[in-house]
């Protein structure tokens, strides 16, 4: 599959099916070994974070793969150490946790939109490599992805949100304000990479203008960076059903859903 060739829906689904099977193997391996995996997705509004997370989750168990998308902090949480409210969501043994935005909110949206001071942002950037070292040293496989969308593609996606009733919930006043601050976000991203792209917790950037290719490339990269092995499984054979022993379906009324379609 050439990188510059048009990726048909059929080719995409074929590649994705194979990757989904491997994600199931990761799930079974994590359950069997007690492995801990934490995956972070960051990027501008419209970069494709929700889409790639949804694609990852399509064929795996939400009890093993957990998605964390925290709301705005409460007043109590605002008084805590900044990363504190994220720590309880880190994976235990046998879990893969995916953060749809993470503690890096402080380096991005909070810094750009003025929800924290410059001093607070710099303090965070100085401290977070130490926190991530502690996370990694505890046995967590930590993968950090930045989805890089271009200006014109972001504009098209934001316009889609305006016109598509299925996506209108993704468009808030905050999103519109963020859209107008492209270069402020670029500077914040650059500062974040400079301080937090470390040997023990590097950033992986991926171009996301082509959604299909981005999703395939990210999943492939995740699989390449988790040292999983296929777990032996017993061959499954369906057992025989029990005998009815004279059971008869009752004729009482039932509230059936109307067959509209």
Query: What pLDDT, in 10s, does the model give residues 161-192?
Result: 998 999 888 888 888 888 999 999 999 999 99
The pLDDT assigned to 86 comes to 97
The pLDDT assigned to 255 comes to 81
Q: How confident is the model at residue 137 (pLDDT cuts 50, 70, 90)?
A: very high
The pLDDT assigned to 186 comes to 97
Q: Does residue 1 have a pLDDT over 80?
A: no
For the segment 139-145, the average pLDDT, to the nearest whole number, is: 98
d(C-alpha 102, C-alpha 100), whole Å: 6
Query: Rounded to the nearest 5°, which phi and psi values hold at 145?
Result: -120, 135
Q: Does residue 5 have a pLDDT over 80?
A: no
3-state secondary structure of 95: strand
Q: Does residue 253 have a pLDDT over 90?
A: no
Q: Does residue 157 have a pLDDT over 90?
A: yes
The pLDDT assigned to 62 comes to 96
pLDDT above 70 coverage of the chain, percent: 98
Neighbouring residues of 26: CB distance < 8 A, sequence distance ≥ 6: 37, 96, 223, 226, 228
Burial label, 119 (beta-carbon count in 10 A; 0-12, 13-18, 19+):
exposed
**pLDDT tens-digit readout, 111-135:** 999 999 999 999 999 999 999 999 9
Q: Name which of 140-144, 213-217, 226-230, 257-261 the model is least confident about.
A: 257-261
d(C-alpha 257, C-alpha 261), whole Å: 11
Which H or E run contains 204?
A: strand 203-207
């Amino acid at each position: 599959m050439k990188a510059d060739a048009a990726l048909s829906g059929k080719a995409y689904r074929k590649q994705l099916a194979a990757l989904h099977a491997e994600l199931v193997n990761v799930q079974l391996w994590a359950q069997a070994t007690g492995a801990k995996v934490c995956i972070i997705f960051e990027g501008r509004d419209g970069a494709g974070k929700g889409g790639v997370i949804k694609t990852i989750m399509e064929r795996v168990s939400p009890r093993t793969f957990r998605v964390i998308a925290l709301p705005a902090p409460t007043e109590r949480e605002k008084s805590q150490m900044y990363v504190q409210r994220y720590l309880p969501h880190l994976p235990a043994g046998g879990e893969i946790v995916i953060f749809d935005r993470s503690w890096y909110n402080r380096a991005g949206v909070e810094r750009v939109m003025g929800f924290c001071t410059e001093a607070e942002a710099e303090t965070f950037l100085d401290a977070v490599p130490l926190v991530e070292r502690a996370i990694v040293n505890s046995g967590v496989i930590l993968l950090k992805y930045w989805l890089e969308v271009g200006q014109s593609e972001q504009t098209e996606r934001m316009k889609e949100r305006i016109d598509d009733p299925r996506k209108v919930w993704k468009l808030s006043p905050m999103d519109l304000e963020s859209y107008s601050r492209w270069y402020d976000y670029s500077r914040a991203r650059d500062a974040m990479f400079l301080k937090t792209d470390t040997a023990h917790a590097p950033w992986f950037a991926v171009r996301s203008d082509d959604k299909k290719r981005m999703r395939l490339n990210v999943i492939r990269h995740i699989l390449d960076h988790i040292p999983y092995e296929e777990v032996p499984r017993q061959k499954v054979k369906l057992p025989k059903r029990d005998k009815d022993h004279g059971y008869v379906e009752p004729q009482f009324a039932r509230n059936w859903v109307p067959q509209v379609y």
